[in-house]
């Protein structure tokens, strides 16, 4: 691993060149060439001299990648502002629109239309369409908008339609499993190459929903964290033992859905806080996360997690 792949030493939410390469699919050497030739991307530098890229750079690079896929040359697109790139890519998806009889052109920026397509794909068990449209939205929107607006609303819509009987249990499970695979396939390769703070991710006993945990893992991996993923329904004892046995754990992150019991969640978090190493940060998020547990940081959403992540790297 080159020195540029070493996790940055700043307290800002930034990515190493290796993480950016993984997140965008652009080789690290190409990023260096563009920096020399076009002046973009222009990373910050850590005290150790390593490249440190801000998250907005990743979103801009994704637009550049899309423009290159459409036949534009690097000299035409690398270094162009986001507004120019978006205008170059301003197209409608007529194939998907016709498939689902949406009468007006659908722009990827329209969450409701995009979510309707995903719901229809779930009803038809259309894995190919779901994968293609998730990938398209991922590249067009960038990580935080994709997760915080599109996927969060998609999950809400799945739950609402299931409650109304418009989606079967099988269709809900199909969509959830495909989405879990999509998120996992994006955060795991980035995490595996990271040299940043090590984070233990789990849900508490009785919590079977882990999609929120996968979403959080993706945000943390993109910011340079190394993820140890225990998954759903993890016994408190196992979380405690893992935090003791694994070297370099800095943070334990727990995701709790609205389907979980907040009173039981509070009791288990209090026990967890009392029995883990006092130097470890205990962070919890999700609709089932209780507030006001002593020694526990409760985050309201993924944006809150994004802002909190720099603390994970303090004294790393």
Beta bridge partners of 282: 252, 296
Count CB neighbours of 125 within 10 A. Answer: 13
pLDDT score for 153 = 93
Q: What's the Cα-to-Cα distance from 247 to each of 213, 242, 243, 262, 295, rounded to whole Å?
A: 21, 9, 8, 31, 22
Report helix, strand or coil for 139: helix
Helical axes 55-69 vs 127-141, angle rounded to 10°: 120
Query: What b/e readout covers 206-236, taking b as 16+ CB neighbours within 10 angstroms?
Result: ebebbbbbbbbbbbbbbbbbbbbbbebebeb
Q: Give the residue among 66, 105, 69 at the shortest CA–CA distance from 85.
A: 66
Q: Give the residue among 181, 82, 182, 74 at the shortest CA–CA distance from 141.
A: 82
Could you tell me the domains of the chain?
3-88 (1.10.1660.10), 94-184 (1.10.1240.10), 194-313 (3.40.50.280)
Output the pTM of the full model: 0.71
Identify the segments of the chain with pLDDT beneath 50. Answer: 1-11, 91-107, 316
pLDDT score for 4 = 44
How many angstroms separate the CA atoms of 88 and 37, rounded? Answer: 22
Report helix, strand or coil for 250: strand
How confident is the model over 22-47, as pLDDT tens digits? 777 788 888 999 999 889 998 988 88
């Amino acid at each position: 691993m080159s020195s540029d792949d070493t996790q940055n030493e700043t307290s800002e939410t930034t990515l190493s060149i290796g993480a950016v390469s993984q997140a965008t699919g652009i080789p690290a050497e190409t990023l260096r060439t563009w920096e020399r030739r076009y002046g973009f991307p222009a990373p910050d530098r850590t005290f150790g001299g390593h490249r440190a890229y801000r998250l907005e750079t990743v979103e801009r690079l994704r637009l550049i990648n899309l423009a290159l896929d459409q036949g534009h040359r690097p000299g035409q697109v690398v270094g162009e502002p986001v507004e120019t790139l978006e205008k170059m890519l301003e197209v409608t998806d007529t194939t998907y629109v016709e498939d689902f009889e949406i009468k007006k052109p659908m722009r990827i920026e329209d969450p409701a239309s995009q979510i309707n397509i995903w719901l229809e794909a779930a009803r038809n068990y259309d894995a190919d369409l779901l994968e293609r449209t998730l990938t398209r939205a991922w590249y067009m929107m960038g990580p935080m908008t994709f997760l915080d607006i599109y996927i969060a609303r998609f999950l809400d819509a799945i739950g609402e339609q299931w409650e109304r009987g418009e989606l079967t249990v099988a269709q809900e499970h199909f969509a959830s499993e495909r989405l879990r695979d999509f998120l996992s396939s994006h955060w795991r390769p980035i995490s595996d190459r990271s040299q940043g703070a090590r984070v233990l991710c789990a849900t508490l006993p009785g919590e079977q929903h882990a999609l929120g945990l996968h979403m959080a893992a993706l945000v943390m991996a993109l910011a340079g964290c190394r993820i140890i993923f225990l998954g759903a329904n993890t016994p408190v004892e196992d979380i405690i033992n893992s935090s003791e046995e694994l070297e370099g754990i800095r943070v334990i992150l727990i995701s709790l859905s609205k389907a979980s019991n907040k009173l039981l969640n509070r009791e288990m978090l209090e026990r967890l806080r009392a029995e883990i190493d006092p130097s470890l940060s205990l962070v919890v998020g999700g609709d089932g996360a209780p507030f006001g547990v002593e020694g526990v940081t409760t985050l309201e959403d993924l944006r809150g997690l994004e802002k909190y992540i720099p603390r994970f790297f303090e004294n790393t």
